[in-house]
Chains A and B, each alone.
Chain A
Amino acid sequence: MPVDIQHYNQSPRRNAEFIKPPNMIKAKVGTGGLSDAILDRAQKLLENTTVDFAPLAEIYLASMMKGIRRAQKPEPDDDNEFLIAGVLYPCAQLKANGGMFHYPLVTRIADRFVQFLEVVDQIDIDALEIAEAFHTTIKAVITAKIKGDGGKHGNELVEALNDACMRYFEKNKHNLRQPEEAEF
C-alpha cells in the first residue's frame, strides 16, 4: 500500500487526559522536612535490629532449591518464564532482605545471580549448575553467620561466582537475551 494511503488509514491518535490531584499529603504535613537527628535515630534502629535472618534465609533457600529441582525436571506444562521465576524470585528475596538484616554479603552474592538470570534466555543444565553453586555459597554464608561484607574471603567468593557466570556467557552465547529485550 502506498505510504500516503497508509497515512490516511491510520487509526486516530489516542487521547490522554491529564489530571492533577490535590496534594492532600502536603496540606497535612506542612513544610520543613525531618531533622537529621530523627533520620539518624531511624537509621540506628535499622542497624541495631536484632532479627535473626537465618530462619528467613532458610525459607528462601529451600524455595530456591525447590525451583532448581523443578527446572531440572520440569512438568510438561512448565514454560521457561515459570521455571526462571521459581529460582529467581526466592533469590531476589535473599538479595532484598540479606542487607536489611546484617548480611550484606548475601545481598551481594544473590544480586550476582539475579543479574545472571536476567541475562539468560533459557534455564538450561549449565545455568542450573550455576544456580546450585550460588545456592550452596549463600547457604554457607548463612550457616557460618558471616555478617558484614565477609572481607577478603567474601570478595573471593563473589569473584569465583562471577567467573563462573562469565564462563557460562562465553560458552552459551546463543542462550543470552537479545540486547533489545534486555534494554527495551
Chain B
Amino acid sequence: MTYRFESLKVLVVEDNQPMLELTKSILQTFGVGTIFTATDGEQGFTIFCQSNPDMVIADWMMQPCDGISLTRRIRNDKRSPNPYVPVILMTGFSEKRRVIAARDAGVTEFLVKPFNARDLYRRIVQVIEKPRQFVRSEDFFGPDRRRKRTTAYTGPMRRKDDDRPAMPAPVTPEDIAFLEDGD
C-alpha cells in the first residue's frame, strides 16, 4: 500500500516563480492530483477561499502579503473555509525567534530552505500522520504549540482530567527543535 495523493488538493503560495514551479513539480512527482498556485498572500487567500485545499505550502517572505499574514487570515478570517488546514511555511530563516513568530501565527510545520525532496515529504507526512490538535484561547487560535509533554511522571493517571491536555507551557528549545525538524 502507498499513499494515494491523486485526490489531494494543495495550494502553493510563492512569489519566486522558479521556486513556485519547482515546488509544484516536486508535488506532481509525489502524485498530488490538484495543485493551485498563487504568487503572494493576498492572492493566496483568495484562491484558498475559492478552492478549499487540503494543505497550504507558503513562502514566508512575499510582498505585499507574506506567509505569516496569510496564515493568520486562514486561521482567523470569517471567510476562511477551513481554519484547521495544515500550513507548511517555507523560509530561509531558521533562527529561534523567527520560528516562534511563525508558530505563534498558527503555522503547522516549518520548512527551512534550501530543502530537498525528502524534507518536503517529511513535512507532508507529519501533517498526515501526526495532526496537531488546535487551541483556541483569548489571544491565539492555531495548532497546539506544544509538541510533547515535559512531565517526568510515569505513574498511573487517576484524575478525571488526566486525559485532557494541560495549559500551554512556555516555549522550550525542544519545541523549536520539533517545529524545525518535524519529528
Contact with A along B30-65 (1 / 0, CB 8 A): 110000000000000000000000110000010000
Does the CB pair A29–B5 fall under 8 Å? yes
Contact (A184, B97) CB under 8 Å given A19-B133, A28-B8, A46-B22: yes
Docked Cα-Cα span, A38 to B30, in Å, equals 6
CB contact list, B80-139 vs A, under 8 A = 84, 86, 90-93, 95-97, 100, 113-118, 121, 125, 127-129, 131, 133-138
Docked Cα-Cα span, A19 to B107, in Å, equals 16
Give the A-B pair count, Cβ closer than 8 A.
148
Does the CB pair A28–B30 fall under 8 Å? no
Does the CB pair B92–A92 fall under 8 Å? yes
Docked Cα-Cα span, A49 to B3, in Å, equals 26
Does the CB pair B127–A100 fall under 8 Å? no
Question: Does A144 touch B at the CB level, under 8 Å?
Answer: no
Which residues of B are found within 8 Å of A182, using beta-carbon distances? Answer: 96-97
Does the CB pair A25–B128 fall under 8 Å? yes
Please classify the interface of chain A as helix (H, G, I), strand (E, B), loop, or mixed, using the class held by over half of its residues.
helix
Docked Cα-Cα span, A43 to B121, in Å, equals 11
| Neighbour of A15 across the interface among B4, B90, B95, B137, CB < 8 A | B137
CB contact list, B126-159 vs A, under 8 A = 127-129, 131, 133-138, 144
Question: Does A18 touch B at the CB level, under 8 Å?
Answer: yes
Does the CB pair A18–B144 fall under 8 Å? yes
Does the CB pair B137–A45 fall under 8 Å? no
Which residues of A are found within 8 Å of B116, using beta-carbon distances? Answer: 43, 46
Question: Does A101 touch B at the CB level, under 8 Å?
Answer: yes
Does the CB pair A24–B61 fall under 8 Å? no
Which residues of B are found within 8 Å of A43, using beta-carbon distances? Answer: 116-118
Does the CB pair B26–A42 fall under 8 Å? yes
Contact (A49, B22) CB under 8 Å given A18-B134, A23-B131, A26-B131: yes
Does the CB pair A97–B2 fall under 8 Å? no
Docked Cα-Cα span, A23 to B125, in Å, equals 13
| Neighbour of B54 across the interface among A25, A51, A92, A104, CB < 8 A | A25
Count residues on chain B whose CB falls below 8 Å from chain A CBs. 54
Does the CB pair B3–A16 fall under 8 Å? no
Question: Does A89 touch B at the CB level, under 8 Å?
Answer: yes
Which residues of A are found within 8 Å of B3, using beta-carbon distances? Answer: 29-34
Least CB distance, B143 to chain A, in whole angstroms:
10
| Neighbour of A16 across the interface among B2, B4, B16, B136, CB < 8 A | B136
Look across to chain B and name the residue whose beta carbon is closest to the beta carbon of A177. Answer: B97
Which residues of B are found within 8 Å of A39, using beta-carbon distances? Answer: 117-118, 121
Which residues of B are found within 8 Å of A26, using beta-carbon distances? Answer: 128-129, 131
Docked Cα-Cα span, A28 to B131, in Å, equals 14
Does the CB pair B96–A184 fall under 8 Å? yes
Does the CB pair A42–B134 fall under 8 Å? no
Chain A interface (Cβ < 8 Å from any Cβ of B): 13-21, 23-26, 28-35, 38-39, 41-43, 45-46, 49, 51, 53, 56, 89, 92-101, 104, 107, 110, 114-115, 118, 182-184
Chain B interface (Cβ < 8 Å from any Cβ of A): 1-5, 7-8, 16, 18-19, 21-22, 25-26, 29-31, 54-55, 61, 84, 86, 90-93, 95-97, 100, 113-118, 121, 125, 127-129, 131, 133-138, 144, 164-165, 167-168, 171
The contact sample of 27 A-B pairs, CB cut-off 8 A, is A17-B137, A18-B133, A21-B133, A25-B54, A25-B128, A28-B4, A29-B7, A30-B1, A32-B1, A34-B3, A38-B30, A39-B118, A39-B121, A43-B118, A46-B26, A51-B22, A92-B61, A93-B16, A93-B61, A97-B113, A100-B114, A107-B114, A110-B92, A114-B95, A118-B97, A182-B96, A184-B96
